[in-house]
Structure 1
Amino acid sequence: MYESYYGFSAKPFQLRPDPHFFFGSKGHKRAMAYLEYGLSQGEGFIIVTGEVGAGKTTLVRNLFNRLPSDQIVAAHIVNTHLDPDDTLRMVVSAFGLPYEGASKTDLLTRLERFLCDIDHQGKRALIVIDEAQNLSARTVEELRMLSNFQTDHKSLLQTFLLGQPEFRATLHSPGMQQLRQRVIASYHLGPMDAQETRAYIEHRLATVGWNGDPAFDDGAHEAIFAYSGGIPRKVNTLMDRVLLMGYLEELHAFGAADIQTVISDIDEEFEAPEGLGVPAADTLAGSHGAGDIDQALHLRDERIGGDRRVTSVEVLDERMMRLEKSIVSVLSILKKIVANPQGAAATHPVDNEE
């Protein structure tokens, strides 16, 4: 792939969150400072919100790399489409405790015993909940109840909640007053500005051995920022495609026009086919009433939303790599045909039978 063409040691813009590529923009540094401040307090809730692809998961993994394992026992939960009882099971499981077939009372007893054992070892427990916007108010309340585990002197469990901006609506709902009183810090991770976006790109390139090849002029960087809005994941998606095009077209310098070509390709690929849309109301109706139609639409939206959430960035990255390989293979064959049409015809004879 383009890694060897440009002399990179690895893909610089993979979609998988990788703390090795962590870039400390102003916002990310402040968010990390909040997380580290929370760790120093050893109690309560720390909340970090941000748009999709803003880098929250990378932030957490970078934090985990810094955690002193001899002082903190940490667990990370991502699957948050759970009811309160399931959340308790997930917390128990995340700390490596048995949970199958146990009642809620048993689960609470096991968790409390585990937390007390951790405390006796001079350590403390941390639970990090990702995708917190998917938590219901009842589930959030269940997490708050778990923060009641404490000794006479300190809390036994600390919780970090990371989610998309809509989680703030849950946090500020009328029933969340007791949770808000236990939040010791909250931060919203916004997008990078144009200068930071350029520095982010150069940082990731430099991490894999970039020596200026390929080059990106000011117009290219302006086009990248205009498309991505400073969201790291959108930058990664675009830059990966830009470098693939550079490899296929044998480019070593990119301008605004080159970036726009890739953006147009991406936009075209994600256009919905004609005729594919929301079914008409009369199609859905049939023998059903208006209430059934509303319910069907709601279930459809819920199913689609769930499917999108289930798809992980790791799977998308793997699919992109397979697509790249297919493109490169096809183009290699086409180049051979163009360079030596007679030899290609002999190698790939055409069936003339009618």
Structure 2
Amino acid sequence: MDYTVKYGLEFNPFLKNSRDVLVETQEYREVLFRLNYLLSTKGFGILTGSAGKGKTTSLRNWASSLNPSLYKVIYSSLSTLTVMEFYRNLASEFGALPTHRKAENFRLIQGEINRLAVEKRQIPVIIMDEANYIGTAILNDLKILFNFEMDSRDRAVILLAGLPQLNNTLRLGIHEPLRQRIVMNYNLEGLSKEEGRRYIQEKLKGAGCTQTVFEENAAEAILNAANGTPRMINKLCNASLLIGNSANLNIITADAVMQAISECELG
């Protein structure tokens, strides 16, 4: 028997797939509130969190909810580009034909932002993921690139998302001008034990499950090992289902979870 059927699931909600089950935790709602605030004020925003805390998932869901007639979303995780590659890539994303001259690409990008804002009444939303890897030269240029009408107005939303060390980089004196422009800065802390428990329940419910899958002690062991990180909860739940099925368990036990934790740590 397929393990999803065994545990009353229409599909495995703990795997990345097209049928994603979004769990709206308190922190997810807070992230949306902060992102929407940034959308209304425009300018620079920072979203940080350690690996697996849900930054990219939050960003993807938020960005997909924006009205495409009002916002032009540009998403980039090409954070290790050279300055020239960065400019060429951004110009191309705006639909312009990039050149091999930085100054010309600079003018192209600003021209496209102005055209969107003035003619099409669209706000560009530029999301730069893995921004903790962005080089100093590009960070130095960001404030200049998005400076319009003698710094009197912001025409775009620029969101830098990455690991918490992004803030350490921005605290350097050289980045003071950029840091002064930041209107939103939020760090994802992860799920509380209570939210983690609800996260597992909502994932199972979203996959059509009506039966008990994890013993109380088993769920507790997953939450302790995952330490509030959604990606780790997913990984441990998935591994536990496979082990439980292999051992022909009708309900996942704490012993099965401990085996899953051991395998995931070795993997």
Give the share of equivalent positions with the same residue, in percent: 27
- 8 A Cα contact 1:147 1:158, kept in partner: no
Contact 1:19–1:62, Cα closer than 8 Å, also in 2: no
Deviation at 1:266, TM superposition (A): 2.6
Match of 2:14 in 1: 13
Structure 1 distance, partners of 2:3, 2:252, is: 15
Cα shift readout 1:58-109 (whole Å, capped 9, x = no counterpart): 010111121011111010001201222222222222333322x432122122
Instruction: Provide the secondary structure at the position in 1 that maps to 2:183.
Output: strand
Compute the RMSD of aligned alpha carbons.
2.0
Q: Could you say if the C-alpha distance between residues 152 and 54 of structure 1 is closer, same or farther in structure 2, counting changes exceeding 3 Å?
A: closer
Could you report, residue by residue, the CA deviation over 1:203-234 in whole angstroms, capped at 9, with x for unpaired residues? 111111111242x2221121001111010111
Given that residues 38 and 184 in structure 1 are in contact (C-alpha distance below 8 angstroms), is that contact kept between their aligned partners in structure 2? yes
Structure 2 residue identity aligned to 1:6:
Y
Q: 1:119-143: CA deviations, max 9, x gaps?
A: 2111111100101110122211222
Name stretches of at least 5 consecutive residues in structure 1 with no aligned partner.
271-354
| C-alpha distance after superposition, 1:156-203 (max 9, x if no partner) | 222011110111111111111111111111111012111111111111
Contact 1:191 1:231 in 2 (8 A): yes
Match of 1:266 in 2: 264
Alpha-carbon distance in 2 for matches of 1:229, 1:152: 43
Offset of residue 27 of structure 1:
2.0
C-alpha distance in 2 between matches for 1:50 and 1:199: 21
Shift, 1:10, TM fit? 2.6
Native 8 Å contact 1:150 1:157 kept in 2: no
* Selected match of 1:237 from 235, 238, 241: 235
In our comparison, the structure showing a higher alpha carbon Rg is: 1
Measure the CA separation in 2 of the matches of 1:151 and 1:75: 24
Determine the C-alpha separation between the residues in 2 that align with 1:91 and 1:98.
Answer: 10
| TM-score of the superposed pair, with normalisation by structure 2 | 0.91
Give the alignment's TM-score, normalised by structure 1: 0.70
Change in CA separation of 1:73 and 1:19 when aligned onto 2, cut-off 3 Å: farther
What count of residue pairs does the alignment treat as equivalent? 265
* Unpaired segments ≥5 residues, structure 2: none
User: Per-residue deviation at 1:24?
Assistant: 2.2
Asked if structure 2 preserves the Cα contact closer than 8 Å seen for 1:85 and 1:104, the reply is: yes
Q: Does 1:125 align with 2:124?
A: yes
In the alignment, the residues of structure 2 paired with residue 149 and residue 245 of structure 1 have an alpha-carbon distance, to the nearest angstrom, of: 58
Q: Within 1, Cα distance between the matches of 2:130 and 2:109?
A: 23
**Distance in 1 between residues matched to 2:68 and 2:169, nearest whole Å:** 32
Following superposition, the deviation at residue 149 of structure 1 comes to 3.5
The SS at the match of 1:187 is strand
Q: Which moved more, 1:234-243 or 1:146-155?
A: 146-155
**Structure 1 counterpart of 2:187, one-letter code:** H
CA contact (8 A) 2:47 2:186 kept: yes
Q: State whether residues 213 and 253 of structure 1, in contact with CA within 8 Å, keep that contact through their aligned partners in structure 2.
A: yes
Partner Cα distance (1:51, 1:123) in 2:
32
